[in-house]
Structure 1
Amino acid sequence: MTDTPLFKVNGISKFYGTRTGCRDVSFELYPGEVLAIVGESGSGKTTLLNCISTRLTPTAGSVEYRMRDGAFRDLYRMGEAERRMLMRTDWGFVHQNPADGLRMTVSAGANAGERLMAVGERHYGRIRATASDWLERVEIGTDRIDDQPRTFSGGMRQRLQIARNLITGPRLVFMDEPTGGLDVSVQARLLDLVRSLVNDLGLAVVIVTHDLAVARLLSHRMMVMKEGRVIETGLTDRVLDDPREPYTQLLVSSILQV
């Protein structure tokens, strides 16, 4: 990891009338670092993820991203087209439900190839070859390249969504409960795959999860949220092995059903 952050979140808040989505959240994320945001349902973790990934406009605060030229840009002062291009190229977003992150009625190869076209690739043979390579990397047989995702299992769909996101070489990936809804054995394989890809590619990742085992396996650092606020933060092993806040202690001891 370098000494310069890739991503800076400053005082992000989101209110829905009198209801708090998240309040005054700040943190920095460095290249190659994986940050887990954990908490029970309704803690504000998904609202925060959507605000920092520009999927939801915050009520207050700013989000800055270090572009490839080294300059920091405030995401909410960018034009909409510029933000969309960032999302299609330099960032990835892995949804809990893979159907939200895939086009279910086009082939697996086309799902992966669309992102390549967004960065200017136009050669059909190269697009198909790169898509085929990525299907292999996420453990999908290349004989399925022309099959539609609707014919895939849940685990295969999630692996295809990951390939679609990583094919353009993004530097930052957001993940929203990426193992949610999958069988335990499928979850384990997917987590092993994600961990190896993150390490191999040096990705920065923000992952939202209610599963502390997922956080321990994947993340370097953890933020614990309750009622829209960050109540504890630190290195993942420290937070899980020596939680300081009573709420975090409850989470770790699994008394709360999260």
Structure 2
Amino acid sequence: MTEPLLRVRDLSKFYGSRMGCADVSFELWPGEVLAIVGESGSGKTTLLNCLSTRLEPTSGLAEYRMRDEVWRNLYDLSEAERRFLMRTDWGFVHQNPADGLRMTVSAGANVGERMMAVGDRHYGRIRSTAIEWLGRVEIAEDRVDDEPRAFSGGMRQRLQIARNLVTHPRLVFMDEPTGGLDVSVQARLLDLIRGLVADLGLSAIIVTHDLAVARLLSHRMMVMKDGHVIEQGLTDRVLDDPREPYTQLLVSSILQV
């Protein structure tokens, strides 16, 4: 792996005079998981939405190495190219799984839709692959025809993960993937995500306010405050030896809980 998968340079987003994020630069390597952490209003979600092209940045550059090894500036892609990228090479796991699922079609159809988006039209193969992926995210085969609204929050989140990963993307964005779930459900889901990321060799960018989630899932961490990245490095180093006072405060506040 001589080249990264994603290169970001001086990325900034302003909402009029209000700053969302400013001057963010980093590289993401194949198989690497990057956690973006910070309190509410720190700019981490704005950054994630810019990286995933859901928002157009005010300035800066984000280049992605396509499967043909050609580097493309994400903000020069056409709308059709961006949609294709999101259906094939990328995934996006929302905090609220209802935002990432079609709630009125079956669990199997939610997974199968993603396969059809990349050209698969064989019903038997789509259904069998959907059942296989439901099993991988710990959803029983006999739930394949149930609609997501009949599922618990944790099951919906697992279904959303299956829907995203069935096309074997190279990069997955995750926005507070365990937010709003009970602690026991969070723990099982985190184990599941960690296993799938390792098995599939995925790169992932995870936004979270939970430092325990960041430690469990990520190799590297960026800490944001007031729209700026104030500290970054290997996750264990940042958490065990934080250098910035703000990072020290975040870590100590978790330890005191």
State TM-score, norm by structure 2.
Answer: 0.98
Q: Which amino acid aligns with 1:98?
A: P
| Structure 1 equivalent of residue 160 of structure 2 | 161
Counterpart AA for 1:215 = A
| 1:41 equivalent in structure 2 | 40
Identical-residue share of aligned pairs (%): 81
2:112 corresponds to: 113
The whole-number CA distance in structure 2 between the counterparts of 1:173 and 1:224 is 19
Q: Report the CA distance shift for 1:42/1:256 in structure 2 as closer, same or farther (over 3 A).
A: farther
Q: Given residue 41 of structure 1, which amino acid in structure 2 is its aligned partner?
A: S
Q: Distance in 2 between matches of 1:254 and 1:173?
A: 29
Distance 2:251 2:201 in 1: 28
The farther-off stretch of 228-237 and 57-66 is 57-66
Change (3 A) 1:226 1:197: same
Displacement of 1:3 in angstroms is 2.2
Structure 1 187/219 Cα, relative in aligned 2: closer, same or farther at 3 Å? same
Distance 2:253 2:14 in 1: 29
Question: Residues 116 and 168 of structure 1 are in contact (CA less than 8 Å); yes or no, is this contact kept in structure 2?
Answer: yes
Corresponding position of 1:209: 208
Residues 44 and 226 of structure 1 are in contact (CA less than 8 Å); yes or no, is this contact kept in structure 2? yes
Gaps of 5+ in 2: none
Q: CA deviation at 1:255?
A: 6.8
Aligned-partner SS, 1:189: helix
TM-score by length of structure 1 reads 0.98
- Trace 1:92-241 onto structure 2 (pairs within 5 A): 92-241=91-240
Which one-letter code corresponds to 1:150 in the other structure?
R
1:44: Cα distance to partner? 0.1
Distance (Å, rounded) in 1 between the aligned partners of 2:33 and 2:83: 23
Match of 1:78 in 2: 77
Alignment-derived partner of residue 22 in structure 2: 23
Distance in 2 between the 1:41 and 1:78 partners? 30
Structure-1 separation of matches of 2:9 and 2:114: 30
- Secondary structure at the aligned position of 1:51 is classed as helix
Q: What amino acid maps onto 1:53 in structure 2?
A: S
What CA deviation, in whole Å up to 9, does each residue of 1:195-219 have, x standing for no partner?
Answer: 0000000000000000000000000
Counterpart position of 2:247 = 248
AA in 1 matched with 2:59 = A
Q: Deviations over 1:209-230 (max 9, x none)?
A: 0000000000000000000000
State the match for 1:56 in structure 2: 55
| Secondary structure at the counterpart of residue 254 of structure 1 | helix
Show structure 1 runs of 5+ residues with no match: none
* Matching residue's letter, 1:119: V
CA distance in 2, matches of 1:167, 1:242: 38
Q: 1:148-201 CA deviation, whole Å, 9 max, x = no partner?
A: 000000000000000000000000000000000000000000000000000000
Give the whole-Å Cα distance in 1 for the aligned partners of 2:45 and 2:52. Answer: 10
SS in 1 for 2:253: coil
Matched, 1:65 2:70: no
Deviations 1:8-59 (A, max 9, x none): 1111100011110000101100000000000000000000000010001100
> d(CA) in 2 for partners of 1:23 and 1:198?
29
Contact map agreement 1:250 1:256 (CA 8 A) in 2: no
